[in-house]
Amino acid sequence: MKVYLIFALLLPLAANLWFACRKKELCRKAVFTAVTELVLIYALHLGICRFTLCNAPEIPVIAFSAVSCLFSFLFLTKRQTAGRLHRFLRTAAGSVCLAFLLEMAVFCGNAYSLHPFSADAEQTAVTGSAKHSDSGIIVSGNASVRLTFNAQDVRFLHIRTETKDSFYEVTCRMTDDNFAHMPQETGSYRMNASQEELCLAIAPYGTLYEAELAFQNVDRPIRIRSITASDVKPFPFSLLRMLGLSALLCLLAAIRIFRWHRLCYDRFDLLQRESIAVLLMLCIGAMLFVCPVGNARLYDYDPAAGVDTYDPYAQTFDAWQHGQLHLRIDPDPVLLELENPYDRSAREAAGAEEEWDKAFHNGKYYSYFGIAPVIFVYYPIFLCTGKLPNTEFTAAVFSVSGMIFLFLLLLTLVRKYCRRVNFLLLLLGLTCAAAVSGLFLCSHYADRYYVANAAGITFLYLFLWLGLEASLAENHRVRCLFLAGCGIAVTAAVLSRPTCALYAVLLLPVVLPLLRRSDLDKRHRLTAVTSFALPLLIGAAVTMAYNAVRFSSPLDFGSTYQLTISNTAANRVQLGELPAAMVQYFLHPLEFGGQFPFIRMDTVEFAQNGRYVYVTEGFGALCFWCIPAALLLLCFLKISREEKQFCMLGYAAAVLTAFLDHCMGGYNTRYLCDILPVLAVCSVLLLLQGAQSLRKHRAAFRAAVLLFLQAPLLLTAVFLSLGENSSMWYGHPDFYFILRDCLVFWQ
């Protein structure tokens, strides 16, 4: 008898004995409950052994432990108790038992059969990069394995492997009584050979004659021990699925019993502040989970070495260390002789070698990427450690910082504009804003392009938060400090992504009222304006001087001198590009796919562009339902004039940024990160206000919950759909397959 069954039989006795010892009047009831549990558990064991392919199913001990103890608690405690805690404990106990029942009866339903069977292939033939061996079949590349079964009532194919950490795709074709001589495709699967047994669902009509497995994209050899056919799956008990469902049911019970859905936010409540801090840590942890943290590192800097392998920020740092602004990279003489070196076809025709995506001006290479990461990350780390960070490390630093400033900004907006906010909705709103903000995308890709986006988002949230705090500060010195920091943060945002300059208009309805406050005299107003304007003007002057020295124009950041796919100087701002920009950046839909998670990013190209437009796969901002819902609320919601101006300026700046990005650069997911940060903040703020204004209607609360939950779920699905192109795939290779097996239980 298996160990799990011994534990399962002993735990009910122990649990009921404990209850009987605490209250002697429960002895008879405890004995009856223990006997009932023993009978049910043993009957369950016999049923699984009889009606599945498992002779002794390994159900986790912790599952039986929880169910046994909580089942005893549920039946041996009084139901009529006034205390909320007692009601919650009973409900939680019932929830865990219900989750166990659903796991056994529903999620594992395709593992049961009145007459389960397993059939081996009568013949096996291999073609391509596959060969027979003493231990089975070895597949080292694109190959096909054809198996002859001649079996009926087959529902699944079982592939047993021995290889670890091997990823591949397999397409299944079969012949049956419907297509006896023409193999038909039944499914395509993305697989991980680290699982010992893989299961493919098929549904032949009548007799299954042959099954053909076509292996593709095999990254390392796979050793297949056996391939069999059966009418049921191996018993797929998932402890993770059971615990997740139990936690969800317990959370819903706690919300209803303790009335958390009626709790209002109080910024002085210590427990609420701790809850927000925990949520922030969870968001940062999730962000680092999708980030290639394993690749983040610090490396030694050698001033005498070449810089060819450095990222653009390290190359800029190296140039500054050598007292120059251009990079220490010698251009190809052929490139210098070209009349138009920015024409990619001319470079290829002449055989000129170029430094990809560098700015080339007056025979020298420059980096057009913002210098804020160099100033705020590279130099501080170098001064402290003598080493330089790579882009993964830098992206993680800015993403974490941006998440902190996002939470501070939203809480300050709530304090300034919202009188009463539901605390549960606030937590969900913070989660939604974190998902929509673009920080997860920057953390996920973490290359030189997204480092600039992450830095821009961080300083954008920082200057908005400092500006709002300045408008709320009562102490004049504190107000001036906030304004000075706000001016510096605006400059840093522009030095990260120049498009962030447009979002400075959001400070107008926040800062300008300071000049009209009757309780401030002229001296205080003048010092407040000077505190903000002085660092801003100094930063603007330094930035323009830096641009003028490098590119002969104070407003030229070097993007028109890129050596990239096309000549970016050919791009022009044209009003006729507005419809295409709105489609690409806002209405661009996700495509439905056949594999889990059943959606994927798609490319939308217009056939009549009239010119070359750089377009990659992605999605539009309105795929996050909270954004169109908030736009609709903005038309009807009664809010303060200042708040309405703040949100309208935010949406207008996002539309203008999308238009300029499309005209000057085209469409890419990283360009989408230019508009998502402000859309996230404004949308969550309006939805919180709308839910509060319509608090008498339960439908409004439920709609807000749905809108807030959709964003993180959609973003998770997008990351899962990337497959091998996802850093999460390589950092956590089993996550996709575990989640797929938990959610796609019907196959």
SS3 track for 280-292: HHHHHHHHHHHCC
CA angle 604, 607, 608 (to 5 degrees): 125
State residue 389's pLDDT score: 95
Residues 286, 728 contacting (CB under 8 angstroms): no
- 209-214-215-221 Cα dihedral, nearest 10 degrees: 50
Averaged pLDDT, 465-492 = 94
Residue ranges in 258-301 assigned as alpha helix (H)? 270-290
Q: Residues of 423-435 as b/e, b for ≥16 C-beta within 10 angstroms?
A: bbbbbbbbbbbbb
Q: Is the pLDDT of residue 558 over 60?
A: yes
Pairwise CA distance, residues 70 & 89, whole Å: 9
State residue 271's pLDDT score: 92
Q: Is the pLDDT of residue 541 over 90?
A: yes
Residue 541, both tokens: 């002057």
pLDDT in tens, 355-388: 888 999 988 999 999 999 999 999 999 999 999 9
- HEC string of 45-106 equals HHHHHHHCCCCCCCCCHHHHHHHHHHHHHHHHCCCCCCCHHHHHHHHHHHHHHHHHHHHHHH
> Cα dist. 616→291, 662, 726, 734, 735 in Å?
21, 12, 16, 28, 26
Could you tell me which residues are beta bridge partners of residue 562? 359
CA-atom Rg of the chain in angstroms: 31
Query: Which tops the pLDDT comparison, 610 or 92?
Result: 92
Residues 6+ apart with CB under 8 A from 494: 500, 501, 539, 540, 543
322 DSSP 8-state letter: T
Averaged pLDDT, 111-121 = 88
Averaged pLDDT, 169-195 = 86
Pairwise CA distance, residues 199 & 227, whole Å: 10
Nearest alpha-carbon partner for 5 in 51, 53, 52, 55: 55
Residue 15, both tokens: 């649990």
Nearest alpha-carbon partner for 233 in 57, 67, 101, 99: 57
Q: Is the pLDDT of residue 536 over 70?
A: yes
Residues 246, 96 contacting (CB under 8 angstroms): yes
State residue 194's pLDDT score: 66
SS3 730: helix
**Across all residues in the chain, what is the average pLDDT?**
87
Q: Is the pLDDT of residue 109 over 90?
A: no
> Cα dist. 207→173, 230, 682 in Å?
14, 12, 59
Which residue's entry shows tokens 């690749």?
Answer: 295
Query: Which tops the pLDDT comparison, 424 or 609?
Result: 424
State residue 1's pLDDT score: 44
Q: Is the pLDDT of residue 198 over 90?
A: no
Characterize the bridge pairing of strands 156-161 and 118-120: unpaired
The amino acid at residue 74 is L
State residue 156's pLDDT score: 92
Binning pLDDT at 50, 70 and 90, where does residue 36 land?
Answer: confident
Upstream peptide bond of 597 is cis (omega within 30 degrees of 0): yes
Residues 6+ apart with CB under 8 A from 243: 99
pLDDT in tens, 691-731: 888 777 778 888 999 999 999 999 988 988 887 667 777 77
Q: How many other CB atoms sit within 10 Å of the CB of residue 606?
A: 12
Binning pLDDT at 50, 70 and 90, where does residue 264 land?
Answer: very high
Q: Is the pLDDT of residue 25 over 60?
A: no
Residues 221, 110 contacting (CB under 8 angstroms): no
Region of 217 (left: φ > 0; alpha: ψ -120 to 50; beta: rest) is left
Pairwise CA distance, residues 392 & 397, whole Å: 9
Residues 141, 218 contacting (CB under 8 angstroms): yes
Binning pLDDT at 50, 70 and 90, where does residue 608 land?
Answer: low
Could you tell me which residues are beta bridge partners of residue 201? 156
pLDDT in tens, 286-304: 998 888 877 889 999 988 8
Q: Is the pLDDT of residue 23 over 60?
A: no
State residue 26's pLDDT score: 58
CA max distance for the chain: 99
CA angle 476, 479, 482 (to 5 degrees): 155
Averaged pLDDT, 669-674 = 94
For the whole model, what pTM was predicted?
0.91
Q: In percent, how much of the chain has pLDDT > 70?
A: 90
Q: In percent, how much of the chain has pLDDT > 90?
A: 45
State residue 429's pLDDT score: 96
What is the number of residues in the chain? 747
Pairwise CA distance, residues 402 & 461, whole Å: 7
Q: Is the pLDDT of residue 188 over 80?
A: yes
Binning pLDDT at 50, 70 and 90, where does residue 607 land?
Answer: low
State residue 388's pLDDT score: 95
Q: For residue 380, how many C-alpha atoms fall within 13 Å in the half-sphere facing its CB? A: 7
Averaged pLDDT, 566-592 = 89
> Cα dist. 284→404, 424, 630, 677, 679 in Å?
9, 19, 25, 16, 20
pLDDT in tens, 443-464: 999 899 999 999 999 999 999 9
Positive or negative CA dihedral for 355, 356, 360, 366? negative
